């Protein structure tokens, strides 16, 4: 699993709503235009492709930050906000 932070700056409301809705299906919203969470490499690639389809590259931007395992615990929140926990994985015995 990869911990990612995705932020976006989308000019038009309609595109912005589509980007937000698409990210909400995969990640946790932590600020108005910032999503965070754990994804598989395959899911991350799907998010990249989807964002490329949804935005206008001339006016919009999406930033995807991959956090290493050492960096995630070092995350600091100043002010209101909550930490995004990694989902509990089901283990089959």
Give pLDDT tens digits for 6-35: 999 999 999 999 999 999 999 999 999 999
How much is the pLDDT for 92?
46
| CA 8/CA 35 separation, integer angstroms | 9
Range of the domain at 44: 2-74
- Measured CA to CA in angstroms, residue 80 lies from 9, 14, 83 at distances of 22, 28, 10
- Of 3, 5, 67, nearest in space to 31 by CA: 5
How much is the pLDDT for 86?
66
Phi/psi for 85 (5° steps) reads: -85, 145
Q: Tell me the average pLDDT of the chain.
A: 89
CB 85 within 8 A of CB 68: no
Structural domain contains residue 92: no
CB 47 within 8 A of CB 63: no
How much is the pLDDT for 75?
83
Residue range 32-58: mean pLDDT, rounded:
96
Structural domain contains residue 33: yes
Structural domain contains residue 85: no
Q: How many domains does the chain have?
A: 1
CATH code of the domain covering residue 42: 3.30.70.240
Structural domain contains residue 57: yes
How much is the pLDDT for 93?
40
Structural domain contains residue 60: yes
How much is the pLDDT for 38?
95
CB 37 within 8 A of CB 4: yes
């Amino acid at each position: 699993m990869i911990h990612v932070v995705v932020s976006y700056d989308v000019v038009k409301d309609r595109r912005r709503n589509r980007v937000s809705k698409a990210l909400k299906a995969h990640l946790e919203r932590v600020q108005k235009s910032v999503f965070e969470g754990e994804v598989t490499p395959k899911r991350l690639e799907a998010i990249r492709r989807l964002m490329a389809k949804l935005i206008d590259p001339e006016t919009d931007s999406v930033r995807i930050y991959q956090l290493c395992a050492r960096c995630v615990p070092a995350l600091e929140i100043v002010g209101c906000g909550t930490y995004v926990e990694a989902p509990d994985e089901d283990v089959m015995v």
